[in-house]
Structure 1
Amino acid sequence: MVSSERVPTMGVDKHWRCYVSPAFVERTPVDELAGVWMHEVAHLLRDHHGRAGRLATTDHHRTNLAQDCEINDDLVADGIPLPGFRVVPGDFGQPDGKLFEEYLPHIPPTPMNHDCGSGAHGHAVPWESQDGHNVSPVEAEAIRRQTAEAIRAHGRARGKLPAGWKRWADQLLEPVVDWRAVLAGAVREAVAWASGALDYTYRRPSRRATAMAGVVLPGLRRPLPRVAIVIDTSGSMGEAEVNAALSEVEGVLAEVGIRGNRVTVLACDADVHTVARVTKTADIELAGGGGTDMRVGIRTALSMPDRPQVVIVLTDGYTPWPDENPACRVIAGLVGKTPPQPPAWVEAVYIR
């Protein structure tokens, strides 16, 4: 706690110091002071300054208002009294229960009338100080987890929690990672690994050749890998999930410069039905609908004249796998709620 004549009401910095105006304390009822205290602490618990740093906007006042909307709807739902200057989602025609990132596009430029500090929007403000104890990132995370566990225990005891606080506690204690980000990361990493192979070429002479008159030295090149996508088209596969995963793979490959004749798609159930080099998802024909054996698709991909360095298998996982690593990177995009675990040499991404 930092007593400050410069802060208008209360605010927090990203080092978990809370600045309090003595004049504001004098004129504000105790129950409303408790509400403001909970509001400011919520900025820190919900890592608002960290999340704000990942946004493209530079209007930290609008960001602060959106964050206030995320917090205050839960405080109001829990019957916590707040001063008259409170901001709620309804002020901007928005429903309760959303994250501040969702509220932000709906908040117009508004004159600055309250600033919660860098602990909210991440920008240092004049009334913040460098003196006093800093809460380290490790301590901050421990405080968040302890608070989330207490909120859960409170909910079990009383049977009622504001939706926003329950969602925050659940996500902190049981984080859900977006499968798209995991799949994209796995594909990028595999492509980078395969691209790391260097080869010599006389099409690009070595820069050292000028030092050796009469000798042509080859240069080095880093070729783009070839990628095979084996799609499980058995009857147990949902077309919507397969298309979603395929679109993600297609987007990542295009982003790293792999497309056209470097990507081969194989539709496979217990047999390979189609093999095609495609330039866009719409070109793919998903033939099949029988049993499932992805070994056939992987074997066919690796026996092609242009052998792939990366094989991506989109399947529900109910398939036999090769007995050993086929000497290339294999990524399995596993579709469904409870797909079985593939062998350890397969990089598994669970597509929920």
Structure 2
Amino acid sequence: MSIPAGPVPVAALDRAKLLAARFRAANDRPYLATALFSLTVVASDEVPTMAVDRHWRCYVSSDFVARLPVEQLAAVWIHEVAHLLRDHHGRADLLTATDRHDHHRVNLAQDCEINDDLLADRLPLPAGRVDPVATGLPPGLLFEQYLPLLPPTGHTWNCGSGAHGQGQPWDLGGTAGTAAVRPVEANAIRRQTAQAIRTHARGRGSVPGGWQRWASQVLEPTVDWRQVLTGLVREAAAWASGAVDYSYRRPSRRSSALRRVVLPSLRQPLPRVAIVVDTSGSMSDEALATALGEITGVLRAVGIRGNRVTVLACDAAVQVTRRVSSVHDVVLTGGGGTDMRVGINAALRAAEPPSFVIVLTDGQTPWPRTPLHDTRLIAGLIGVDTPEPPAWIATVRIPAT
């Protein structure tokens, strides 16, 4: 946080006021309490205002603390810890050498990433704080996206090496006697804070959207769900194709060498797949569009030709059952309650049961209690914060488009 330091005489740090502000920040935003109380206070009049290093030390100017009321100091505490929670110094290390050199500009971009969330949360940041919307910048971007939108010179923002990654004169270093948080501990703090944010939001508490998105990224690292889904489908298809058995439907060619003896031949079945699509009222149009798109991907990934894929539109009852070879053949109806077990059971009762069943749903459904006999089950959970199915069900999380 860059606030011009006025010509105030150097005085002893008012720790009672500073710690009261941290307590207020933790009390008002309890999901940030663990992170806030992980910071170690270091008094330093070399720092203009407040700054952090990558070891979770918070350097504080006594003049700055004296000039600000408690409620604004509480907001600055949240601002500074946000740099560390979002791993700004680690992300800054990945920038080009040119961008890293202009660390004041990097810091400004990082403040844009943080402050649009804090201002939306009505935090009373001090005068002079960065407001990306007020300066004509779009809200909700990462600092890497803000960086090219900012001019290269004329910036003085300095939240410390814990933000922009460049060492500062007041830094104690990693081996100093003052307590330091190690990287593995920092990651644990981030995960614990992210879980607290998710729990607070589920309890209908007020959590800004930016913090919720950050928590989702920490708890569910970005993975190409298309590759995960395709991998699960290929594995299930290979498992089904590996069920080689003897069959008399096509006698062995060796039978011609034996009189009055018919030998069976080895048969490798082509897998069949049933796709149960959740069409209940809890599924949005966007989620259904995602489900339809994934049907196309599944058909392509399985590589099955002909009508060997059955799609069942299901809410609390099976609405439509159709064999398809293209997504254009799919018809989805429904909109009532939710019980995907009905669709799964209907698929298993078919004259030619599927080798595996894929359920595309938002997860608001009961599941079978035990694994299916001779059939694998894959759940494609569409959306965020979807309930977890039983552990024996292969699961992939699909963001709703």
TM-score by length of 2: 0.51
In structure 2, the partner of 1:230 is 275
In structure 2, the partner of 1:131 is 175
1:14 deviates by 1.9
In structure 1, the partner of 2:54 is 14
In structure 2, the partner of 1:327 is 374
In structure 2, the partner of 1:204 is none
2:134 and 2:381 map into 1 onto residues whose CA distance is: 43
In structure 1, the partner of 2:322 is 274
Change (3 A) 1:180 1:302: farther
In structure 2, the partner of 1:92 is 135
Q: Pick one of 178, 190, 195 that aligns with 2:232.
A: 190
Change (3 A) 1:134 1:235: closer
1:245-301 C-alpha deviation (Å, 9 max, x unpaired): 3435655887xx6557499542225486422233xx4x3421665995332334559
Does the 8 Å CA contact 1:229/1:314 hold for their aligned counterparts? no
Change (3 A) 1:312 1:41: same
Q: How does 1:2-81 map to 2 (within 5 A)?
A: 10-19=50-59, 25=61, 28=64, 30-32=66-68, 34=73, 39-49=79-89, 59=99, 61=103, 63-72=106-115, 74=118, 77-81=122-126
Say if 2:331 is the partner of 1:286. Answer: yes
2:63 and 2:126 map into 1 onto residues whose CA distance is: 15
In structure 2, the partner of 1:104 is 146
1:293 and 1:348 map into 2 onto residues whose CA distance is: 17
Change (3 A) 1:95 1:246: same
1:100-119 C-alpha deviation (Å, 9 max, x unpaired): 45962773343253343442
List gaps (5 residues or longer) in structure 1.
154-159, 200-224
1:341 deviates by 8.4
1:147 and 1:42 map into 2 onto residues whose CA distance is: 12
1:337 and 1:167 map into 2 onto residues whose CA distance is: 14
Identical-pair percentage: 35
Change (3 A) 1:99 1:277: same
Q: SS where residue 358 of structure 2 aligns?
A: strand
1:230 deviates by 0.9
1:267 and 1:301 map into 2 onto residues whose CA distance is: 15
In structure 2, the partner of 1:346 is 393
In structure 1, the partner of 2:291 is 245
In structure 1, the partner of 2:345 is 295
1:55 and 1:311 map into 2 onto residues whose CA distance is: 45
1:190 deviates by 2.2
Does the 8 Å CA contact 1:335/1:350 hold for their aligned counterparts? yes
Change (3 A) 1:64 1:326: farther
2:295 and 2:95 map into 1 onto residues whose CA distance is: 25
1:142 and 1:326 map into 2 onto residues whose CA distance is: 43
Q: How does 1:115-154 map to 2 (within 5 A)?
A: 115-121=158-164, 123-125=165-167, 127=169, 128=171, 129-132=173-176, 133-137=179-183, 139-140=185-186, 141-142=188-189
List gaps (5 residues or longer) in structure 2.
1-40, 243-269, 337-341
Say if 2:211 is the partner of 1:168. Answer: yes
1:12 and 1:56 map into 2 onto residues whose CA distance is: 22
What is the aligned residue count?
301
Change (3 A) 1:311 1:12: same
Does the 8 Å CA contact 2:112/2:130 hold for their aligned counterparts? yes
**Which amino acid in 2 is paired with 1:276?**
V
